[in-house]
Amino acid sequence: MDGMAKTSTTTQGLRAAIERSGYYPALVAEAVEAAVGGEPIRSYLVHQETTFDQNEVRRHVTVLVLTDNRFIVSHTDEQGADDTSPTPYATTSTESVKLSRISSIVVSRVVANPEQYTPGRLPREVVLTIGWGAVSRIDLEPAACGDPNCEADHGYTGSSTADDLSLRVSEAGDGPETVRQALSFAQALSEATADTGR
């Protein structure tokens, strides 16, 4: 009974967070709820971002949901009228990822005055990067040896990084509650993926 009550509270909390974002809440909620289905929600994060594209202001909302078996990502973007549509429109997409596929969770914290840091104090900003192998970025550069007079071709060197999702939240832009929610979601996701590795 307690598990059911918590699930209901979490589902209501997610719905309320989507409503608070004020960004096409009916559209966003329907897409997220369809992706989640009947699974209990363990944790969630709703993040709205406003960007400036030349003379236009565009909004984007990302909703992250953790269930017992999956990590669900929903993105919704708005577009102005263009050649394909005479009226403004929004595009929403959801992706469902098995927890066992998540290969990387990176949480970067930016803390002001680190010499005065006390445990439990919220960071100024958090960047959450999650990789599951759908998108990778390869950075290459010419390889070289230590000889400044060497003219041989040493090929290339580089690195490949998983870059499926990167989300930045800040206390100044998003408020302390969103920063707290991002840290809570990252911890819940990290714990859930550790459970699947056993």
In a domain, residue 54? The reply is yes
93: amino acid identity, one letter: S
- The model carries a pTM of 0.80
Give the Cα separation of 198 and 188 in Å (integer).
16
In a domain, 73, yes or no: yes
Q: Is residue 78 part of a domain?
A: yes
Domain assignment present for 45 = yes
Range of the domain at 19: 1-98
In a domain, 24, yes or no: yes
Q: For 123-150, b where at least 16 C-beta lie within 10 A, e where not — what string?
A: bebbbbbbbbeeeeeeeeeeeeeeeeee
Q: Give the count of domains, the chain.
A: 1
In this prediction, residue 9 has a pLDDT band, given cuts at 50, 70 and 90, of: low
Q: Where is pLDDT greater, at 98 or 195?
A: 98
Is position 71 within any domain? yes
Express as a percent the part of the chain with pLDDT over 90. 56
Q: Please report whether residue 33 resides in a domain.
A: yes
What residues contact 49, with CB distance under 8 A and at least 6 apart? 59, 60, 61, 62
**Both tokens assigned to 110:** 């930016």
In the chain, at which residue ranges do the beta strands (DSSP E only) sit?
Answer: 41-53, 56-67, 70-79, 89-98, 104-110, 125-131, 136-142, 156-162, 165-170
> Residue 75 in contact with residue 93, Cβ under 8 Å?
yes
- 82 - beta bridge partners? 85
In a domain, 184, yes or no: no
pLDDT of residue 76: 94
Helix or strand holding residue 173 (H, E) = helix 171-174
Mean pLDDT of 174-196: 92
